[in-house]
Protein backbone atom coordinates (compact mmCIF):
# COMPACT_ATOMS: atom_id res chain seq x y z
CA UNK A 1 0.00 0.00 0.00
CA UNK A 2 1.09 3.53 -0.74
CA UNK A 3 1.75 5.67 2.32
CA UNK A 4 -0.44 8.70 2.96
CA UNK A 5 0.58 12.15 4.13
CA UNK A 6 -1.00 15.51 4.92
CA UNK A 7 0.02 19.00 3.84
CA UNK A 8 0.51 20.63 7.24
CA UNK A 9 -1.23 23.84 6.16
CA UNK A 10 -4.50 21.96 6.61
CA UNK A 11 -4.33 23.12 10.22
CA UNK A 12 -2.25 26.30 9.95
CA UNK A 13 -3.87 29.74 9.90
CA UNK A 14 -0.94 31.95 8.87
CA UNK A 15 1.86 31.09 6.46
CA UNK A 16 4.43 32.09 9.06
CA UNK A 17 3.02 29.85 11.82
CA UNK A 18 5.21 27.13 13.33
CA UNK A 19 4.73 24.07 11.12
CA UNK A 20 6.44 21.72 13.57
CA UNK A 21 3.80 22.41 16.21
CA UNK A 22 1.22 20.58 14.10
CA UNK A 23 3.22 17.41 13.48
CA UNK A 24 1.64 15.66 16.51
CA UNK A 25 -1.82 16.31 15.02
CA UNK A 26 -0.79 14.57 11.82
CA UNK A 27 0.51 11.62 13.82
CA UNK A 28 -2.56 11.44 16.04
CA UNK A 29 -4.79 11.38 12.96
CA UNK A 30 -2.85 8.40 11.61
CA UNK A 31 -0.79 9.89 8.77
CA UNK A 32 2.52 8.40 7.68
CA UNK A 33 4.06 11.71 6.62
CA UNK A 34 3.78 15.47 6.62
CA UNK A 35 4.42 17.94 3.83
CA UNK A 36 5.90 21.29 4.80
CA UNK A 37 6.72 24.38 2.78
CA UNK A 38 9.60 26.81 2.77
CA UNK A 39 7.04 29.57 2.41
CA UNK A 40 9.12 31.99 4.50
CA UNK A 41 12.40 30.72 3.09
CA UNK A 42 14.48 27.64 3.96
CA UNK A 43 16.60 29.73 6.33
CA UNK A 44 13.61 29.96 8.69
CA UNK A 45 13.48 26.18 9.15
CA UNK A 46 14.90 24.89 12.41
CA UNK A 47 16.37 21.73 10.90
CA UNK A 48 17.57 20.02 14.11
CA UNK A 49 14.26 20.64 15.89
CA UNK A 50 12.22 19.50 12.90
CA UNK A 51 14.28 16.35 12.42
CA UNK A 52 14.00 15.52 16.10
CA UNK A 53 10.23 15.85 16.03
CA UNK A 54 9.95 13.76 12.87
CA UNK A 55 12.04 11.02 14.47
CA UNK A 56 10.10 11.20 17.74
CA UNK A 57 6.79 10.78 15.89
CA UNK A 58 8.13 8.37 13.24
CA UNK A 59 6.89 10.58 10.41
CA UNK A 60 8.30 10.93 6.90
CA UNK A 61 8.56 14.40 5.38
CA UNK A 62 8.13 16.04 1.99
CA UNK A 63 9.26 19.60 1.26
CA UNK A 64 7.82 22.15 -1.13
CA UNK A 65 8.53 25.73 -2.09
CA UNK A 66 7.66 28.53 -4.50
CA UNK A 67 9.38 31.42 -6.22
CA UNK A 68 8.95 35.16 -5.66
CA UNK A 69 9.42 38.01 -8.10
CA UNK A 70 12.93 38.36 -6.66
CA UNK A 71 13.74 34.69 -7.41
CA UNK A 72 11.83 34.37 -10.68
CA UNK A 73 13.69 31.98 -12.98
CA UNK A 74 11.44 33.03 -15.90
CA UNK A 75 12.65 36.64 -15.61
CA UNK A 76 14.47 38.37 -18.49
CA UNK A 77 16.89 39.68 -15.85
CA UNK A 78 19.80 37.24 -15.51
CA UNK A 79 20.56 38.40 -11.96
CA UNK A 80 17.00 37.55 -10.88
CA UNK A 81 17.27 34.11 -12.50
CA UNK A 82 20.60 33.53 -10.74
CA UNK A 83 18.97 34.48 -7.43
CA UNK A 84 16.25 31.93 -8.17
CA UNK A 85 18.77 29.19 -8.88
CA UNK A 86 20.57 29.92 -5.61
CA UNK A 87 17.27 29.99 -3.73
CA UNK A 88 16.30 26.58 -5.12
CA UNK A 89 19.78 25.28 -4.24
CA UNK A 90 19.24 26.34 -0.63
CA UNK A 91 15.80 24.71 -0.60
CA UNK A 92 17.22 21.46 -2.00
CA UNK A 93 20.01 21.42 0.56
CA UNK A 94 17.52 21.98 3.38
CA UNK A 95 15.21 19.27 2.02
CA UNK A 96 18.13 16.84 2.01
CA UNK A 97 19.02 17.75 5.59
CA UNK A 98 15.42 17.05 6.62
CA UNK A 99 15.34 13.71 4.83
CA UNK A 100 12.80 14.65 2.16
CA UNK A 101 13.13 12.68 -1.09
CA UNK A 102 11.66 15.57 -3.09
CA UNK A 103 11.44 19.31 -3.37
CA UNK A 104 8.01 19.99 -4.84
CA UNK A 105 5.60 22.80 -5.44
CA UNK A 106 5.66 25.64 -7.95
CA UNK A 107 9.38 25.33 -8.52
CA UNK A 108 9.42 26.78 -12.04
CA UNK A 109 7.74 30.24 -11.89
CA UNK A 110 6.14 32.61 -9.34
CA UNK A 111 2.66 31.50 -8.38
CA UNK A 112 -0.25 33.63 -9.69
CA UNK A 113 1.99 35.76 -11.93
CA UNK A 114 0.98 36.21 -15.56
CA UNK A 115 3.06 38.06 -18.19
CA UNK A 116 1.27 40.70 -20.23
CA UNK A 117 2.91 39.57 -23.48
CA UNK A 118 1.23 37.03 -25.72
CA UNK A 119 4.52 35.26 -26.45
CA UNK A 120 5.05 33.02 -23.44
CA UNK A 121 7.72 30.80 -24.97
CA UNK A 122 10.70 32.88 -23.74
CA UNK A 123 9.43 32.56 -20.15
CA UNK A 124 9.24 28.80 -20.46
CA UNK A 125 12.63 28.63 -22.18
CA UNK A 126 14.32 30.68 -19.45
CA UNK A 127 12.72 28.56 -16.73
CA UNK A 128 13.78 25.31 -18.38
CA UNK A 129 17.34 26.57 -18.83
CA UNK A 130 17.56 27.53 -15.16
CA UNK A 131 16.06 24.23 -14.08
CA UNK A 132 18.72 22.36 -16.04
CA UNK A 133 21.19 23.83 -13.56
CA UNK A 134 18.92 23.21 -10.58
CA UNK A 135 18.32 19.60 -11.68
CA UNK A 136 22.07 18.92 -11.61
CA UNK A 137 22.16 20.22 -8.03
CA UNK A 138 19.15 18.06 -7.12
CA UNK A 139 20.71 14.99 -8.69
CA UNK A 140 23.98 15.49 -6.82
CA UNK A 141 22.01 15.76 -3.57
CA UNK A 142 19.88 12.70 -4.30
CA UNK A 143 16.68 14.77 -4.38
CA UNK A 144 13.95 14.74 -7.03
CA UNK A 145 12.70 18.18 -8.07
CA UNK A 146 8.97 17.85 -8.77
CA UNK A 147 7.06 20.40 -10.82
CA UNK A 148 3.43 20.75 -9.75
CA UNK A 149 0.97 20.94 -12.63
CA UNK A 150 -1.47 23.73 -11.76
CA UNK A 151 -4.72 24.94 -13.29
CA UNK A 152 -4.90 27.86 -15.73
CA UNK A 153 -5.96 30.33 -13.03
CA UNK A 154 -2.73 29.79 -11.07
CA UNK A 155 -0.04 29.54 -13.75
CA UNK A 156 0.50 29.98 -17.48
CA UNK A 157 3.51 27.67 -17.66
CA UNK A 158 1.73 24.32 -18.14
CA UNK A 159 -1.71 23.13 -17.06
CA UNK A 160 -1.94 19.50 -18.14
CA UNK A 161 0.23 16.46 -17.63
CA UNK A 162 0.99 16.40 -21.37
CA UNK A 163 2.24 19.99 -21.26
CA UNK A 164 4.23 19.19 -18.13
CA UNK A 165 5.88 16.26 -19.88
CA UNK A 166 6.87 18.53 -22.77
CA UNK A 167 8.47 20.91 -20.28
CA UNK A 168 10.27 18.02 -18.56
CA UNK A 169 11.68 16.97 -21.92
CA UNK A 170 13.01 20.49 -22.38
CA UNK A 171 14.84 20.27 -19.03
CA UNK A 172 15.99 16.75 -19.92
CA UNK A 173 17.31 15.61 -16.55
CA UNK A 174 16.27 12.50 -14.58
CA UNK A 175 16.13 14.45 -11.29
CA UNK A 176 13.02 16.33 -12.47
CA UNK A 177 9.54 14.80 -12.47
CA UNK A 178 5.92 15.90 -12.41
CA UNK A 179 3.80 16.51 -9.35
CA UNK A 180 0.16 15.76 -10.09
CA UNK A 181 -2.78 17.01 -8.03
CA UNK A 182 -6.30 15.69 -8.52
CA UNK A 183 -7.86 19.10 -7.77
CA UNK A 184 -5.97 20.77 -10.60
CA UNK A 185 -6.32 17.73 -12.87
CA UNK A 186 -10.08 17.78 -12.42
CA UNK A 187 -10.13 21.26 -13.95
CA UNK A 188 -7.76 20.69 -16.86
CA UNK A 189 -7.56 17.03 -17.91
CA UNK A 190 -10.02 15.38 -20.29
CA UNK A 191 -9.47 12.11 -18.42
CA UNK A 192 -7.60 11.99 -15.10
CA UNK A 193 -6.70 8.32 -15.34
CA UNK A 194 -5.44 8.75 -18.90
CA UNK A 195 -3.22 11.63 -17.77
CA UNK A 196 -1.73 9.40 -15.08
CA UNK A 197 -1.12 6.66 -17.64
CA UNK A 198 0.54 9.18 -19.96
CA UNK A 199 2.76 10.50 -17.16
CA UNK A 200 3.84 7.01 -16.17
CA UNK A 201 7.18 6.87 -14.40
CA UNK A 202 7.51 10.65 -14.66
CA UNK A 203 5.20 11.08 -11.65
CA UNK A 204 7.37 12.10 -8.72
CA UNK A 205 4.73 13.17 -6.20
CA UNK A 206 0.94 13.00 -5.95
CA UNK A 207 -1.53 15.31 -4.21
CA UNK A 208 -5.08 14.26 -3.39
CA UNK A 209 -8.06 16.57 -3.05
CA UNK A 210 -11.67 16.47 -4.16
CA UNK A 211 -12.91 18.18 -7.31
CA UNK A 212 -14.06 21.13 -5.16
CA UNK A 213 -10.83 21.09 -3.08
CA UNK A 214 -12.59 19.45 -0.18
CA UNK A 215 -11.11 16.32 1.33
CA UNK A 216 -10.84 13.21 -0.86
CA UNK A 217 -14.18 11.44 -1.16
CA UNK A 218 -16.29 14.60 -0.95
CA UNK A 219 -16.47 15.50 -4.66
CA UNK A 220 -17.03 13.64 -7.92
CA UNK A 221 -13.54 12.30 -8.72
CA UNK A 222 -13.45 8.63 -9.69
CA UNK A 223 -10.92 7.46 -7.12
CA UNK A 224 -11.09 3.82 -8.16
CA UNK A 225 -9.93 4.89 -11.63
CA UNK A 226 -7.15 6.94 -10.02
CA UNK A 227 -6.00 3.89 -8.06
CA UNK A 228 -6.10 1.65 -11.12
CA UNK A 229 -4.03 4.13 -13.10
CA UNK A 230 -1.47 4.61 -10.31
CA UNK A 231 -1.20 0.84 -9.98
CA UNK A 232 -0.76 0.44 -13.72
CA UNK A 233 2.16 2.90 -13.92
CA UNK A 234 3.77 1.44 -10.79
CA UNK A 235 3.59 4.61 -8.70
CA UNK A 236 4.71 3.70 -5.18
CA UNK A 237 5.28 7.20 -3.82
CA UNK A 238 3.12 8.87 -1.21
CA UNK A 239 -0.40 10.22 -1.56
CA UNK A 240 -0.57 13.60 0.16
CA UNK A 241 -3.84 15.33 1.04
CA UNK A 242 -3.72 19.04 0.27
CA UNK A 243 -6.59 21.38 1.04
CA UNK A 244 -6.91 24.78 2.71
CA UNK A 245 -10.33 24.47 4.34
CA UNK A 246 -10.78 27.61 6.45
CA UNK A 247 -12.10 30.74 4.67
CA UNK A 248 -11.47 32.96 7.68
CA UNK A 249 -7.67 32.67 7.89
CA UNK A 250 -4.72 33.76 5.77
CA UNK A 251 -3.92 30.34 4.31
CA UNK A 252 -7.50 29.80 3.14
CA UNK A 253 -8.00 33.29 1.74
CA UNK A 254 -4.74 33.10 -0.19
CA UNK A 255 -6.10 30.22 -2.28
CA UNK A 256 -9.63 31.68 -2.60
CA UNK A 257 -11.43 29.53 -0.06
CA UNK A 258 -14.67 31.44 0.50
CA UNK A 259 -16.71 28.84 2.38
CA UNK A 260 -15.74 26.19 4.95
CA UNK A 261 -14.55 23.03 3.21
CA UNK A 262 -14.72 20.83 6.33
CA UNK A 263 -16.91 20.63 9.41
CA UNK A 264 -16.17 22.15 12.80
CA UNK A 265 -14.09 19.13 13.83
CA UNK A 266 -11.28 19.17 11.28
CA UNK A 267 -9.51 16.19 12.83
CA UNK A 268 -12.55 13.92 12.56
CA UNK A 269 -13.07 14.90 8.93
CA UNK A 270 -9.44 14.38 7.94
CA UNK A 271 -9.37 10.98 9.66
CA UNK A 272 -12.35 9.99 7.52
CA UNK A 273 -10.53 11.19 4.39
CA UNK A 274 -7.45 9.19 5.39
CA UNK A 275 -9.58 6.08 5.86
CA UNK A 276 -11.20 6.71 2.47
CA UNK A 277 -7.83 6.92 0.70
CA UNK A 278 -6.53 3.83 2.46
CA UNK A 279 -9.59 1.85 1.38
CA UNK A 280 -9.98 3.12 -2.18
CA UNK A 281 -6.63 4.45 -3.44
CA UNK A 282 -3.62 3.36 -1.38
Number of neighbouring beta carbons within 10 Å of residue 62: 26
Domain boundaries, the chain: 4-280
pLDDT digits (tens, 9 = 90+) for 109-146: 999 999 998 999 999 999 999 999 999 999 999 999 99
Residue 79 C-alpha from the chain's centroid: 27
- Class of domain 4-280 as given by CATH: alpha beta
Q: Are 11 and 39 in contact (CB under 8 A)?
A: no
Q: What is the mean predicted confidence (pLDDT) over 87-93? A: 98
- Percent share of the chain, pLDDT over 70: 100
pLDDT digits (tens, 9 = 90+) for 241-280: 999 999 999 999 999 999 999 999 999 999 999 999 999 9
In the set 148, 154, 188, 189, the catalytic residue is 148
The DSSP annotation for the chain comes to ---EEEEGGGT-SSTTS-SGGGHHHHHHHT-SEEEEE-TT-GGG--HHHHHHHHHHHT-EEEEEEEE-GGG-TT-S-HHHHHHHHHHHHHHHHHHHHHT-SEEEEEEEEETT---SSS--HHHHHHHHHHHHHHHHHHHHHT-EEEEE---TTT-SS--SHHHHHHHHHHH--TTEEEEEEHHHHHHH-S-HHHHHHHHGGGEEEEEE--TTSSSTTSSS--HHHHHHHHHHHT--S-EEE-----TTSHHHHHTT--S-SS-S-HHHHHHHHHHHHHHHT-
Residue 7 annotated among the catalytic residues of the structure = no
Residue 242 annotated among the catalytic residues of the structure = yes
In Å, how far are 117, 130, 171, 179 from 114, measured between CA atoms?
Answer: 9, 19, 21, 21
pLDDT reported for residue 40: 86
- Mean per-residue pLDDT of the chain: 97
- Percent share of the chain, pLDDT over 90: 98
pLDDT digits (tens, 9 = 90+) for 7-19: 999 999 999 999 9
pLDDT digits (tens, 9 = 90+) for 191-214: 999 999 999 999 999 999 999 999
pLDDT digits (tens, 9 = 90+) for 33-83: 999 999 889 999 999 999 999 999 999 999 999 999 999 999 999 999 999
pTM across the whole model: 0.96
In the set 35, 154, 188, 242, the catalytic residue is 242
Amino acid sequence: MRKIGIEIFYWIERWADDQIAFFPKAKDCGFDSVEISFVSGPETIDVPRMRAELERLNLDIFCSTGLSLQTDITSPDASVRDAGIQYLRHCLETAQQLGSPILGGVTYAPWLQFPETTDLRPYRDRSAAALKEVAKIAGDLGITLTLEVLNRFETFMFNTAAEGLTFLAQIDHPATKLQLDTYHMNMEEDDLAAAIHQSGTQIGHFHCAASNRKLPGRGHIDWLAIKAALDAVGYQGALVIETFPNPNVETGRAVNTWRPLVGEDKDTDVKAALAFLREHVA
